[in-house]
Structure 1
Amino acid sequence: MQLKTLTLAIAMTSAATGLGLATAIDNTAQAQETFEWKLVTSWPKNFPGVGQGPERLAKLVDEMSDGRLTIEVYGAGQLVPGFEVFDAVSEGTAEMGHSASYYWKGKAPAAQFFAAVPFGMNAQEMNAWLHYGGGLELWNELYDPFGVDVMVAGASGVQMGGWFNKEINSVADLEGLKMRMPGLGGEVMSRMGVAIVNMPGGEIFTSLQSGAIDATEWIGPYNDLAFGLHQAADYYYYPGWHEPTVMFEAIVNEDAMASLPDDLKAILRTAVRDVNQDVLDEYTARNNDALESLVNEHGVELRRLPDDVLAEAKKHSQDVVAELAETNEMAKKIHDSYRAFQEKVVDYHAISEQAYYNARNPEGDTTGE
């Protein structure tokens, strides 16, 4: 009897050892598996700021994974057109994409809340809502039917009001202008008499230079200088009421994400979070010098948008955003979360960020000294 028990114990131990060894071999094989991904973007290849974000992401992931996950970055038009990034990732043509969610308003109108809301939250506030106020969870819920996961992958900061080939002295001067402006801001401008035209960034300069459009917004001085927009229009207006920031997105095909082992998923998420801050930091640093160059070296006329234009834009913005919220139940859910968070953060910023700016820069003092 003792001999049988001993034999059974030895057999069970051997089986357990074999199972453990098989599991270890399995885990080792998975850890050694390599993945080669394609990442498509809505920006020209290697374009400063927003175009460099995906390049940095690919480099970080390669280094952090020791080459187990490599990402090949494609600029707009290299693999798919800039406005087909979402479809490419959803359908699995590419595992990953980098873009801005308001380009997909035809598929999911509420996606515009996650890119830019006129007179809405800035980059700091948006990052807080998305990461700590439930915004990112809502964004992923919105994209679930398309088989796409989303992470925040950069921000532009407050943008400029746009380039115009004539002076804007009142709302009446906007009537009949053809302007490139995406998202909710474009809808607002259309209600102010502007004919809105949508096009990828790479087409803006030639369209403005040829007269196909009379005005455009892009991002800000750093990118606008790189595109040479000062060669096609003389007047540069601020502030960018329509885009207090644009939040850029990293979208990932759900099946591709599920295929990664847990450590590579963590590496990808960590790298995206790094890029999210890095893109904003670069814009904050580079816009200063670029604006000085545009004004002092290229003779650009820097103008503030007239008060009546801003007042009219704000009025229409309230209507446009309210109407979007009524599109469907999901849009209302996102809108309500956005507005609730904005109300809280605005109250706090009134006694923190805004109060500090007012103290540092009294009215009329633009030196900061």
Structure 2
Amino acid sequence: MNRRNLVAGGALGATALATPHLASAQTRIRWRCPNSFPKSIETLYSAAEIVARRVREMSDGSFEITVSGPGEVVPALQILDAVTQGSVECGFTPGLFYFGKDPTLALSTTLPMGMASRAMFAWLHYGGGRDQLRDVFRDQNVHAIPAACTGAQMGGWFRKEIRSAEDLKGLKFRIAGLGGSVMQKLGTVPQQIAPSDIYPALERGVIDAAEYIGPFDDEKLGFARVARYYYYPGFQEVAPSTDLMVNLRAWEALPKTYQAMLETACIEAWHATAAKYDVLNPPALRRLIAAGTQLRPYPREVLQALYRAAQELYVELGEQNARFKRVHEHWEKFRVEQSQWFRIAEDSMVNFLAVASAPR
């Protein structure tokens, strides 16, 4: 090695030795993240923990998010308010819980008679959905990132059988978001109750029926002990998306690398949550049925009545709220196109195999 190379090599070595460790060079950030879902519902609750773990790992510990259960820092149904005000930096909660502020917020989660999970993810990330929703969240001083999906949900638990739309009249039904507004058109009395309070209300007879998520979580919450009939499909939340809502000022102050980490972590959490439910729900449903739960499909007449009521509601909301009308039209066009595509490409084969492989 000649002298010039020796000097250059020494200089490079000195530079390498002088370079600080990556973690010490990164901005250290500590955020709080209240969660709308109780810790006992670990699959959905843990989506926020996946996000926290991934950003901690990607930042080598420099970006820490502490997740807390409902009521520990903020009540379950007040997380959007806390994020808006900057009381906390972020929160894990679905937009549909706050549709009273602006019904357009519900579109970030789902609408009754909505899209399946793949179509919903496609709309949000690649079909222009997040761009359509950006203004409504900005009005709330929030940057929203889709961070979880339960996949297909169930219709709910009832104390009595539902044979016709008439049987829905007068029922006090715990149902979240615009699903309650749809059922109200058929005479149901909707109740929006935080997840941790559903079982006591059903047990005491404060409500007559309740929907939550699906077999795995519903089994854990014990609904089968106080309501016998389990209905499907979950027309009210076909495949709801839950957001990591970030205070807008906190988001804009976040280094670009951390913003990228957060977006990436949320995508992983979204798919991980849906996949976990796909694994956990089938055996949970078998256990419920074996223990005496009566599984029932909503009668076609009921679903048709609910579909008509949903379309009426969307027209009414559009007349009252121009932004809802604009975003809903964009959402509906995408939904119809996806439905037609899946009917040809996947549903036909799925339905064939369901019949062909059924026990004989």
Partner of 2:120: 126
SS of equivalent to 2:327: helix
Q: Would you say the 8 A contact 1:33–1:68 is kept in 2?
A: yes
Spell out, residue by residue over 1:203-239, the C-alpha distance to the aligned partner (whole angstroms, 9 max, x if none): 0000000000000000000110111111111111111
Aligned partner of 1:124: which letter?
R
Tell me, in whole angstroms, the C-alpha distance in 2 between the residues paired with 1:29 and 1:167: 59
Deviation at 1:366, TM superposition (A): 7.2
Partner residue of 1:136 out of 130, 137, 144: 130
8 Å CA contact 1:62, 1:70 repeated in 2: yes
Q: 2:358 pairs with 341, 351, 367, which one?
A: 367
Q: Which residue of the partner structure matches residue 19 of structure 1?
A: none
In structure 2, which of residues 271, 277, 302 is the aligned counterpart of residue 283 of structure 1?
277
**Counterpart secondary structure, 1:196:** strand
Instruction: Name the CA shift for 1:29/1:367 in 2 (closer, same or farther; >3 Å).
Output: closer
Q: CA deviation at 1:245?
A: 1.2
Greater shift after overlay, 110-119 or 212-221?
110-119
Counterpart for residue 232 of structure 1: 226
**Structure 2 residue 303 is the aligned partner of structure 1 residue 344:** no
For 1:149 and 1:31, how far apart are their aligned partners in 2?
A: 26
Range that drifts further, 287-296 or 341-350: 341-350
Greater shift, 109-118 or 213-222, is seen at 109-118
Q: Does 1:174 align with 2:171?
A: no
Deviations 1:320-361 (A, max 9, x none): 122222332211220111011112212211211221123222
Partner Cα separation in structure 2 for residue 130 and residue 69 of structure 1: 26
**TM-score (structure 2 length as normaliser):** 0.91
Contact 1:46–1:52 (CA under 8 A) maintained in structure 2:
no
Partner of 1:115: 109
Aligned to 2:158: 164
Deviations 1:232-277 (A, max 9, x none): 1111111111211111111111111222222111111111111011
Q: Cα distance 1:254–1:288, how it changes in 2: closer, same or farther (>3 A)? A: same
Name the CA shift for 1:114/1:366 in 2 (closer, same or farther; >3 Å): farther
1:105 — aligned with what?
A: 99
Aligned to 1:356: 349
1:119 deviation in Å?
Answer: 1.6
8 Å Cα contact 1:118-1:242 kept in structure 2: yes
Distance 1:95 1:366, change over 3 A: farther
Q: How far apart in 1 are the matches of 2:48 and 2:174?
A: 24
Distance in 2, Cα, partners of 1:155 & 1:128: 13
What do the CA deviations read for 1:150-206 (whole angstroms, capped 9, x no partner)?
Answer: 111111111111000111112222121111011121111111111111110000000
TM-fit CA distance, 1:33 = 2.4
Q: Which has the larger radius of gyration?
A: 1
> More deviation in 80-89 or 338-347?
338-347
Of 313, 318, 327, 1:320 maps to: 313
- Identical columns (%): 35
CA displacement at 1:368 relative to structure 2? 8.3
SS of 1:295 mapped into structure 2: helix
Structure 2 gaps of 5+ residues are: 1-17
CA contact (8 A) 2:23 2:59 kept: no
Rounded Cα–Cα distance in structure 1 between residues aligned with 2:321 and 2:230: 37
The question of 1:58 aligning with 2:52 is answered yes
* Amino acid paired to 2:154: M
Aligned to 2:7: none
Task: Give the CA deviation at 1:32.
Answer: 3.0
Q: 1:191-202 maps to which residues of 2 (within 5 A)? A: 191-202=185-196
The answer on 1:299 being equivalent to 2:292 is: yes
* Maintained 8 Å contact 2:109/2:241: yes
SS of the counterpart of 1:158? coil
Q: Which residue of 2 aligns with 1:49?
A: 43
Q: Distance in 1 between matches of 2:281 and 2:24?
A: 44
5+ residue gaps in structure 1? 1-23
Q: Is the 8 A contact 2:99 2:178 kept in 1?
A: no
Kindly indicate whether residue 326 of structure 2 is the aligned counterpart of residue 333 of structure 1. yes
Deviation at 1:70, TM superposition (A): 0.6
Hey, what's the Cα distance between the residues in 1 that align with 2:240 and 2:225?
25
Q: Aligned pair in 2 of structure 1 residues 64, 353: CA closer, same or farther (>3 Å)?
A: same
The number of residues matched between the two structures is 344
Q: How far apart, in 2, do the equivalents of 1:335 and 1:202 lie?
A: 31
